[in-house]
Structure 1
Amino acid sequence: MTKHRWFTKQASPFGSRCVKVVLGCFIAGQALTGFSLFGGAGNYASAAGEPPVKSTWLWNPYIIDKEADSTLQQLADKQVNRVYIFIDLSYPANYYSQFIRKAHAMGIQVEALGGAPNWVLPEYNKKLYVFIDWVKRYNNAVQPEERFSGIHLDVEPYVLPEWGQDSDTTIGLWMDTVSGFQEEVKSDSSLQVGMDMPVWLEYFQVGDGQGGRTTLSDWFIRRMDEVTLMAYRDQTDDITDSVKTELDEADRAGASAIVAVDTVDSGEEGSFYGEGEAWMEQVLGELPAVLGSHPSFKGTGVHEWESWLKLKP
């Protein structure tokens, strides 16, 4: 794996709050990858004629057994057409295959979701490669309509104590993890790769690998087919302001970007937990008009499914 430890941190105009907001919204998971049913390598979200993405995170995979049909109907009712489903390797693979087959028939893509903050640490990094291998083996063993349509990586090392102790080293390990993820997946497959990304990484400068400098957000975006921007705010202007730099970077990189909001009762400002579903849907409905001029903008996401269901109307 190539090492990328060439960076210096810029001061953030948000101060420590930019990290605090994301920490309050964080839910740990594990990350995986999937095979695209919607075309070959490249950015499948940009295929002509496809509707805008409306995605959600399903961190509890156990409902795909007895509650699969009702869950899929609820997803369809909320016009969700992509689900990031957390992978528990001990869970029977046929539960995933049955759920994905039904979802695919309803026009819902299912991506394998996983990751943990400590995946960036050398002693835990191997878990990433175990999961990549598992998803490749799974997709090779099932029918096309039962395959994951992509990987969704959620690795957020800024919640680790190591971040506060030595953020420069931790950022370097994060870069190594993401580059290793992309390289391993693409080494022998056309699987799509994507990741969750906070919207304050533009305030960190890193080496671009070509003797120049770039933002950490740009560095990640250029290695992904798609990024999901965790714009955890509850006002249209705040959301659009927070993602402007990242969408510009994604435009230049030819990557796709999903703009996501939060519904978790985190105790932090910015979640729609206290605002309700009607206000959230109004805000989500306003984003395409504001952000649609960006070729990279492919839709919206709602974090996360169980909290979304608990929102007041």
Structure 2
Amino acid sequence: MKKNSWWMKGIGRTGGALLSCLIASQMLTAGGLLPGETAKAEAAAPAKVSTWMWNPYVIGNEREATLQQLIDHKVNQVFLFIDPEYPAEYYSRFIREAGLHGIEVQALDGAPNWVLPEHNKKMYAFIYWVKQYNAKVQPEERFTGIHLDVEPYVLAQWRQDSDKVMGLWMDTVSGFAQEVKAETGLTVAMDMPVWAHLFQVRDGAGGRTTLSNWMIRWLDQVTLMSYSDNAKDIEDSVKIEMAEADRAGVKAQVAVDTVDSGEDGTFYGKGTTAMNRELNAAVASLSSHSSFRGYSVHAWDNWRKLSQ
């Protein structure tokens, strides 16, 4: 999960796919409902404080300390990376104990090349693993959803032919949603860049809509990777996608970064006080959206080490 300053270079190759923000905003109502759309946000659902846990080994080696740190950070949702070779009992024990503290756990995985036909099967293997795991454990030890992180715009193929890769990305998202929804009770969740509204795609009903709107309507929950370090930029970066999520009835979270990415917009080196100040201001503004369900911090290993 990286914010790439050069992603815009690939947009110029889409030949008419790029929309201005004004045009995109006018297109928001154009998209019809997609097959399999079932998610509707509850009017009074509790706000989520989420984080990506890319290092799953801490739930075995440092389980008690990790749980306490999550509680101290007021986290109530974890996107936990899945290593299928890691002992299943580590996952079940962590999920069970996390649940006692009101922390739900979604299974996390993904890679940019999962959109490519030769690698797409890895996504289905991941989904299958989660379903098999959930079937074998007690209800309180199950993952509540599957969280996909696929960012194909970092691939060389995107710069070479972004139209083609975008089509593969859409196929991947729809295939992911359909496969996960075949298992009752699993939340369909995904990370999405905040510039996806700049692309126009077919809506499946004879019209056109934004790429972000098309993707959101397949999901139950979307995490918008704002990766900005001030409240105004956070709000501005997600306003179109939040409006789309409002109309689709899909839960939406905004995400900030704490990783030393070498780029602007991260809270690395700025401390938790500054991050909390900006997040509180952004939350106060974004709470007017019916879809808004809180914020996510990328990533756990960096967040827990962030200075005051």
Superposed pair shares fold, TM > 0.5: yes
Cα distance, 1:8–1:223 mapped onto 2, change above 3 Å: farther
Matched residue, 1:185: 180
Aligned to 1:293: 288
SS in 1 for 2:307: coil
Residues 236 and 287, structure 1, Cα contact 8 Å, conserved in 2: yes
Q: 1:87 aligns with which of 82, 86, 96?
A: 82
Describe the SS at the equivalent of 2:191.
strand
What secondary structure does 1:9 align onto?
coil
2:96 maps to: 101
CA–CA distance in structure 2, aligned partners of residues 51 and 297 of structure 1 = 10
Work out which of the residue numbers 143, 147, 151 in structure 1 matches 2:142.
147
Q: Any stretches of 5+ residues in structure 2 without a counterpart?
A: 1-13, 22-37
Give TM-score, length-normalised by structure 1.
Answer: 0.86
- For residue 69 of structure 1, the aligned residue among 53, 64, 80 is 64
5 Å-filtered alignment, 1:97-246, equals 97-246=92-241
1:276 — aligned with what? 271
SS at match of 2:290: coil
- Does the residue aligned with 1:104 lie in a helix, a strand or coil? helix
User: Structure 1 vs Structure 2: percent identity of aligned residues?
Assistant: 61
Shift of 1:11: 5.4
The alpha-carbon deviation at position 245 of structure 1 amounts to 0.1
Q: TM-score, normalised by structure 2?
A: 0.87
Contact in 1 for aligned 2:245/2:251 (Cα 8 Å): yes
Tell me, yes or no, if the aligned pair for 1:54 and 1:301 is still in contact at 8 Å: yes
What is the CA distance between 1:180 and its match in structure 2?
0.3
Provide the rounded CA distance (Å) in 2 between the counterparts of 1:176 and 1:282: 39
Pairs aligned (count): 279
CA shift digits 1:140-171 (9 cap, x unpaired):
10001100011110000001000000000000
SS at 1:211 equivalent: coil
Gaps of 5+ in 1: 1-5, 14-40
Q: Secondary structure at the match of 2:144?
A: coil
- Residue 307 of structure 1: aligned partner: 302
CA–CA distance in structure 2, aligned partners of residues 70 and 279 of structure 1: 25
RMSD between aligned alpha carbons? 1.6
CA apart distance, 1:9? 1.8
Q: What is the rounded CA distance, in whole Å, between the counterparts of 1:134 and 1:120 in structure 2? A: 19
Q: 1:7 to 1:68 in 2, by over 3 A?
A: farther
Given candidates 257, 261, 264, the residue that maps to 2:259 is 264
Quote the residue 2:46 is aligned against. 51
Change (3 A) 1:47 1:60: farther
Write the deviation string for residues 97-135 of structure 1: whole angstroms up to 9, x where unpaired: 000000001110110000010000000001111111111
Task: Give the Å deviation of 1:51.
Answer: 2.6
Structure 2 Cα separation of the partners of residues 299 and 257 of structure 1:
7
SS in 1 for 2:166: helix
For residues 190-248 of structure 1, the C-alpha deviation after alignment (integer angstroms, 9 at most, x for no partner) is: 32101000100110000001111100000000000010000000010000000000000
d(CA) in 2 for partners of 1:215, 1:83: 29
Would you say the 8 A contact 1:58–1:305 is kept in 2?
yes
Distance 2:194 2:183 in 1: 31
Secondary structure of residue in 2 paired with 1:83? strand
C-alpha displacement of 1:46 = 2.9
